[in-house]
Amino acid sequence: MAGTSPSDQRPPLVEARQIWKFFGPIAVLRGVDLTLRPGEVHALLGGNGAGKSTLMKMIAGLYRLDRGELLVCGEDASAMTPVIARQAGIHLVPQEPMLFPSLSVEENVLMHVPGNRKELRARLETMIAEIGAGMTLSTQAGQLEVADQQMVEILRGLIRDARILILDEPTSALTPREVGKLFERIRALTAQGVGIFFISHKLGEIRAIADIVSILRDGQVVLAGPPKSFTDAEIVAAMTHVEGKEGFTLGRAAAPAEHGAERLRVEGLAGEGFADVTFSLHAGEILGLAGVVGSGRTELAETIYGIRPAARGRIFVDGKPLAGHGPRDSLDAGVVYLPEDRQVSGLFVNAPLVWNASALVLHRGREWLPLARERADFAEQIRLLGIVCSSADQPVRTLSGGNQQKVLLAKCLAAGPRVLILDEPTRGVDVAVRADIYRLIDRLAGEGLAILLISSDHEEIERLSHRVLVMNHGYPGGLLEGSDITINAIARLSFGVGAKMDAAQ
Amino acid sequence: MIIRFLQRHREASVALIIVVLFAILGLVDRSYLSFDTVLLVYGNSLILFVLAIGATMVMATHGLDVSVGSIMGLAAVVAGLLMNAGWGIPLSIGVALLVGLLCGLFNGVLVSWLKVSAIVATLGTLGLYRGLVHLLSGGSWIEGLPEDFKALTKAGSLGLSPVAWLVLVLLVVAHFGLRYTAFGRSMFAVGDNREGARLIGIRVNEVQIVAFGLNGLLAALAGVIFASQIGFIPNTAGTGMEMRAIASSVLGGVSLLGGTGTVLGAALGAYFMTSIDSILVLLRLEAYWNDIIAGAILLVVLITDGKIREAVDRLLRYQKYRKFIDPQAAGPQADAAKAARPLKTALETSEARK
Amino acid sequence: MKLHPVLKRWEGVLALLLVAEILLFGALNPVFLQPSMLLYATSDFIHVGITALALTLVIITGGIDLSVGSVMGLSAITLGILWVGGVDIWLAAVAALAVGTLGGVFNAVAIHLSKVNPLVITLGTGFLYGGAALVLSGLAGATGYEGISNFDPAFVNLANLEVVGLPLPFALFLALTVGFMALLHRTRFGRYVYLIGQNPRAAAYAGTPVFRTLVVAYALTGLLAALSGLILASYFGSARSDFGSTALMPAITAVVLGGTSIYGGSGTILGTALAALLVGYLQTGLQLVGVSSHVSSALSGGLLVIVVALRSLSEMGRVWLQHRRVLRNVAAE
């Protein structure tokens, strides 16, 4: 671990004091304090929507802060812009690579870098060789795999001799070997006095590289200090909603003594990003589908629903094969999918709530729209799901994240599903809504619906599922049942370490 | 292989079409197949060349300007009025170019700062600038332009007029300027990924405004060339040229979605559009075949291009997911991944138990 | 600041502007206020309004159709060629409408097949259809300026017919406005049009028949553009290939000024209809008070620029004010 001497007298590279940021009426950051010293790796940890990325984009000048103070190298930088950030030696490697897909690797990295082209190109070539990335300078960035795109983003920072490097989940798409290389690079940089913000979801990585860790939740820093002074349990407790737990009146869902008839059976299914998946799902059952991001969970769900093509294998609904199908066929068969990204794939955010709620059932009615019934049906759903809104005509975007999610659920439920696939049903929603959604899922299963629950939140899977299928790198990593379903077991299987460890023991 | 090459180098496919067009001409009458024909078409393409350079710049930033025809007309009228008022040729042209620059900058401000969609903003200024043309000219043609001015587009050294040489220089400068200078690259960066460009410190709005401004300047130059070529200025000068300019650029591989394209491609597109015209005349076919041929070829190129891109995407997708979709073809790497796959048997036994 | 309910809707603002405009021109020249003047002036621009109605659908789906002007010319020339060839005028008119509809279908199919931006595809088909009209008229030996004339008097009289006291083209426009309002706001097809424009991806996830919806929207646009071409042929008593060349930009202007977002997802038929009248009467009124027709077209261009810039600015202002309010509330806490 690269250490910092406590007697370091240089001013901090970045000092954030009581930073607030609003998106519309919603506070994303609520009085955040944060300090980055030269030669330090400062890790940021927190769930989705905790405000980490917003905070980092603010330091890089992409967003302007609304209240508070931002100091860079001791100087006021509250009016930060990307141009100023660049001059101050700040470089952000964003979570989603922001490359220019039509330009080459070289053009992407060297774009807007002052200096001699030839020298820069030579340096870049050495860097690529050192890092061991498999790309050439002339490769078009759009053709690179995500891991390599991430590498290009990191190279951009390195070639600019950034003093403050912000890495937003840099390892999410990297192999362990590449992660090792990256960490070597980070240690070399910190030895030269570079300060690094490092966002990650992986505790192991944070323990390996970070000097300080700050944990954000709901836009506030809830825990900060050297990682070694906290236990894993303390960190996880700080990240998740400890006080929110009281809101969850339900205990762990007990596996029903007897499942109903088989609703969905998948046999040897392979497709874009997964293979050899076999499982069955019964009425009244909640099957959890766990695994890290990129393990093929969403691809599997989208293939069952008919958005992506299946390469091999068969899908049966109520014993009847479902082949060569699209979403419409799935809907007609009673298979309904709640997409993970509600803004992009799920909702029509600028359309009235009521249009969203009826979007899946339009094709079942007549050509002439039954406007009155549409409204009455939605009013019923508002009541059932507890959607907080002022009018059925207001656009979805004016609702809070939790209420938007409820509208999405209303849309799915309106289709009268027999099999419901929920992809991250509680992503970015607050504690109260989360509890509502958990209760709803339990109730729906109780009413005999077959539910496939996809989630990155192991706790959520553990609490709700009767059985859990864990995906690992696109292949089924294991199936857990009954008392075997524990957060630890899910985590071990998702990272694929479980098997080896078990074998070793 | 050839398809992939043509896909990557759209300039090559347009060049190929032009060669085919000339070959047809040669089949009809060998004597037409001469350097003079090439020069003739070049001379007729000057206006479209200049407009295509501007369109490439604006489209590179993910913009679009449908007002260039009106800017052309406005600049021509301004130059004509000033010359006839005795301002002298260089000064008149200078003022006309300045007017074009201002018109372009105004378009850019509407699009970048006021966030009006490019097609709507320039649709409005299309009418606005055309109205100014009529207001300034008082509704009548401007005639009696100085002979020296007309001489600018009369053939001179090596069969090319002074303006033709200027346009050649412009094409070369613009082509390399857009490819190899920091500002040129930043225009493409803005169109390719606006947020990404902002992140690396490019002033995205300002870059786009400048692109619009230069486009206005070039449209004004096109207007001046037009006036010099035909020797008088009708009120309709430049009408409909915006569509031809955009079509030329698109044909030459400039994407309306921003970020890709070269001046060379756009120029070849412009050369093609004009060559149909000239070749129809040489083949003694009626000029009315022009648009239908241009439209048909444009559509064939666009649809083929879209189809090829789709096939390439499908191939990339297949390669990305090959180890899952087609494990046999994926080779030893996938086998290793499969071997490392844990607990599959456990899953199967668990399923079997049920 | 409290807004009157009428002003809260863009159509309300447009209606008020329309009334104000008519009163203003009436004050400058009382002739303008004569009902027959107001009604028959529409014949000069109503073809733009009719095309704009259907174009609204296409733009709401997130697409655009630059070929409508060419389709107008093509439909008129088709009519002319068939008439010259001895076909019954009414049969020829039906054939012209069919050609326009097919043009629209071809647009949608080409867009769907190539997955290329509708702007580019319809730019190409615009050249193609316009070129086809030129070729047809050329083959028929019609001179560019006069075109094909000597139509059946019954057809030429159509434009001057009155229906319940209204000129036939204007009555047709009103009927189509009502029809398209019902289609867009009351039918499943109309809902699909909005949903596809709002979020094509979510529409695909919801199993929306995207391609079928687009085919119908573009086909209707082709049909109404062809109808506009016929109206012009009847009004002028002749058919020319360049009939629609000046109609494209005003039609898009009417749609955008009517409140339809050029990015798709929102807009109304009523707004388009009102904006078409607003722009049309602006031109007529200006000509009546002595401004040349060319300058008046500049003013409608200027109007478009000002309106969209103001709308954009007011949206920025609204966001800024909301932000200020939120910050103040936080400070107060």
CATH of domain C5-332: 1.10.3470
Mean pLDDT of B140-151: 88
A interface test, pick of B193, B255, B319, B326 with most A CB neighbours within 10 Å: B193
Q: CA–CA separation, A239 vs B254, rounded Å?
A: 48
- Measured between beta carbons, the chain B residues lying within 8 angstroms of A102 are 188, 192, 255, 259-260
Chain-chain contact of C327 with A67 (C-beta, under 8 angstroms): yes
Q: Are B228 and B46 in contact (CB under 8 A)?
A: no
Q: What are the structural domain ranges in chain B?
A: 2-285, 312-353
Given a cut of 60, whether residue A499 has pLDDT beyond it is: no
pLDDT one-digit tens code per residue, B168-226: 999 999 999 998 888 999 999 999 889 889 988 899 999 999 999 999 999 999 999 99
Alpha helices in A192-255 (DSSP H): 203-209, 232-239
Residue C154 confidence (pLDDT) above 50: yes
Residue among B227, B213, B217, B214 at smallest CA distance from B89: B227
pLDDT at B72 over 70: yes
Top mean pLDDT of A97-106, A329-338, B121-130, B331-340 is at: A329-338
What pLDDT was estimated at residue B332? Answer: 47
Neighbours of B262 (CB within 10 A): 23
Q: What is the CATH number of domain A14-89+162-242?
A: 3.40.50.300
Q: Any idea which architecture A263-346+417-504 has in CATH?
A: 3-Layer(aba) Sandwich (3.40)
- C-alpha dihedral over A374, A375, A377, A381, to 10 degrees? 130
- Cβ separation C124–B298 shorter than 8 A: yes
Scanning C285-314 for CB atoms below 8 A from A yields none
Average pLDDT over residues C171-179: 97
**Contact at CB, C207 and A365, closer than 8 angstroms:** no
Q: What is the DSSP string of A74-133?
A: TEE-TT--HHHHHHTTEEEE-SS----TTSBHHHHHHTT--S-HHHHHHHHHHHHHHHT-
What pLDDT score does A324 carry?
65
pLDDT above 90 covers a percentage of chain A that reads 41
Mean pLDDT of B221-233: 94
Arithmetic mean of pLDDT over chain B: 85
- Partnered with residue A323 across adjacent β-strands are none
- What would the mean pLDDT of A269-276 be, rounded to a whole number? 91
Cα–Cα dist C10/C332, whole Å:
35
Q: Which residues in B lie closer than 8 A to residue A312 (C-beta atoms)?
A: 325
Complex prediction ipTM = 0.87
Q: Which of A56, A84, A102 best probes binding to B when mutated, by most B CB atoms within 10 angstroms?
A: A102
Judged by CB atoms closer than 8 Å, whether chains meet at B305 and C124 is answered as: no
Confidence of residue B90 (pLDDT cuts 50, 70, 90): very high
Across chain C, what does the average pLDDT equal?
90
Backbone φ and ψ of B347, nearest 5°: -65, -45
Starting at the edge strand found earlier in the chain, the sheet holding A220-225 runs A90-93, A164-168, A195-199, A41-45, A212-217, A220-225
CA B34 to chain centre: 27
3-state secondary structure of A363: helix
Model confidence at B352: pLDDT above 80: no
Q: Which CATH class is domain B2-285?
A: mainly alpha
Which residue, A424, A459, A44, is CA-closest to A242? A459
**CB of A391 less than 8 A from some CB of C:** no
Count CB atoms within 10 A of the CB of residue A366: 8
Three-state secondary-structure class, residue A338 = strand
- Give the pLDDT of residue A50: 79
Q: Per the CB < 8 Å rule, is B286 touching C294? A: no
Cα of A340 to nearest chain C Cα, Å: 12
What's the rounded Cα separation, in Å, for the pair B350 and B348?
A: 5
Q: Is any Cβ of chain C less than 8 angstroms from the Cβ of B302?
A: yes
What angle (nearest 5°) sits at the alpha carbon of residue B226, between those of residues B224 and B227?
65
Of C113, C127, C138, the CB nearest to B294: C127
Do the Cβ atoms of B162 and B170 come closer than 8 Å?
no
Of residues B341, B347, B350, the one with CA closest to residue A474 = B341
C328 close contact with A: CB closer than 8 A: no
Residue A72 — pLDDT band, cuts 50, 70, 90?
very high
pLDDT at res. A41: 95
A350-406 confidence digits (pLDDT tens): 999 999 999 999 988 889 999 999 999 999 999 999 898 888 999 998 887 889 999
Average pLDDT over residues A37-53: 85
Cα–Cα dist B295/B244, whole Å: 10
In the predicted structure, residue A256 carries a pLDDT above the cut 60: no
Q: Which residues contact C306 (CB under 8 A, 6 or more apart)?
A: none
CB C254 within 8 A of CB C272: yes
Q: Among the listed ranges B61-65, C6-10, C71-75, C318-322, which one has the minimum average pLDDT value?
A: C6-10
Q: Taking 90 as the threshold, does the pLDDT of residue C65 lie above it?
A: yes
Q: Which of A183-187, B224-228, B264-268, C88-92 is the least confident region?
A: A183-187
Q: Which token pair is A381? A: 């759903």
Out of C126, C299, C309, closest to residue B116 by CB = C309
Eight-class DSSP state of A228: G
pLDDT band per the 50, 70, 90 thresholds, residue C229: very high
Within chain A, which residue ranges are assigned CATH 3.40.50.300?
14-89+162-242, 263-346+417-504
Touching check for C332 and chain A: CB below 8 Å?
A: no
Q: Which phi and psi angles does C207 have, rounded to 5°?
A: 70, 25
Q: Which of A434, A1, A439, A421 is nearest to A211 (CA)?
A: A1
Secondary-structure percent of chain C, ordered helix, strand, coil, rounded to 5: 75, 0, 20
- Grade residue A323 by pLDDT with cuts at 50, 70 and 90: low
Number of Cβ pairs < 8 A linking chain A and chain C: 88
Q: Residues near A394 by Cβ (< 8 Å), separated by ≥ 6? A: A352, A353
Cα B189 versus chain centre, distance? 17
- Give residue A253's pLDDT: 53
For the segment C254-262, the average pLDDT, to the nearest whole number, is: 92
Position B336 scores a pLDDT of 42
Asked if B302 has any chain A CB less than 8 Å from its own CB, the reply is no
Secondary structure in 3-state letters for chain B: CHHHHHHHCHHHHHHHHHHHHHHHHHHHCHHHCCHHHHHHHHHHHHHHHHHHHHHHHHHHCCCCCCCHHHHHHHHHHHHHHHHHCCCCHHHHHHHHHHHHHHHHHHHHHHHHCCCCCHHHHHHHHHHHHHHHHHHHHCCCCECCCCHHHHHCCCCCHHHCCHHHHHHHHHHHHHHHHHHHCHHHHHHHHHHHCHHHHHHCCCCHHHHHHHHHHHHHHHHHHHHHHHHHHHCCECCCCCCCHHHHHHHHHHHCCCCCCCCCCCHHHHHHHHHHHHHHHHHHHHCCCCHHHHHHHHHHHHHHHHHHHHHHHHHHHHHHHHHHHHHHHCHHHHCHHHHHHHHHCCCHHHHHHHHHHC
Assess contact for A85 and A14: CB atoms under 8 A.
no
Work out the percent of chain C whose per-residue pLDDT is above 90. Answer: 61
At residue A68, what are phi and psi to the nearest 5 degrees? 105, -170
pLDDT of residue C225: 97
Higher pLDDT, C116 or A286: A286
Q: Residue A53: phi, psi to the nearest 5?
A: -65, -40
From residue A274, give the alpha-carbon distance in Å to each of A308, B323, B340, C268.
Answer: 12, 9, 15, 45
Residue C140 has pLDDT above 70, yes or no: yes
User: What is the nearest CA distance from C310 to chain B, expressed in angstroms?
Assistant: 9
A neighbour chains, 3+ CB pairs within 8 Å: B, C
Burial of A473 (0-12, 13-18, 19+ CB in 10 A): buried
Query: Computed from CA positions of residues A417, A419, A423, A426, in that sequence, does the dihedral angle turn out positive or negative?
Result: positive
Query: Cβ neighbours of residue A253 under 8 Å, at least 6 residues apart?
Result: A286, A442, A445, A463, A464, A465, A466
At residue B187, the pLDDT reads: 94
| Interface contact flag, B342 A500, Cβ < 8 Å | yes
- Tell me C3's DSSP state: P
pTM exceeds 0.80, yes or no: yes
Listed residue (A195, A163, A165) closest to A36, CA to CA: A195
Q: Which residues contact A246 (CB under 8 A, 6 or more apart)?
A: none
Q: What percent of chain C has pLDDT over 70?
A: 96
Two tokens, residue A463: 């609490």
**Which pairs with CB-CB distance under 8 Å and at least 24 residues apart come from A375-383?**
A377/A414, A378/A353, A378/A354, A378/A410, A381/A357, A381/A410, A381/A413, A381/A414, A382/A410
**Region C230-242: what's the mean pLDDT?**
92
What is the C-alpha to C-alpha distance for residues C228 and C248, in angstroms, rounded to an integer?
12
- pLDDT at A252 (0 to 100): 53
Is 50 exceeded by the pLDDT of residue A250? no
Name the residue with tokens 């647009």. Answer: C107
Question: What does the pLDDT read at residue A444?
Answer: 94
Of the ranges A154-168, A485-499, B73-87, C310-324, which is most confident?
Answer: B73-87
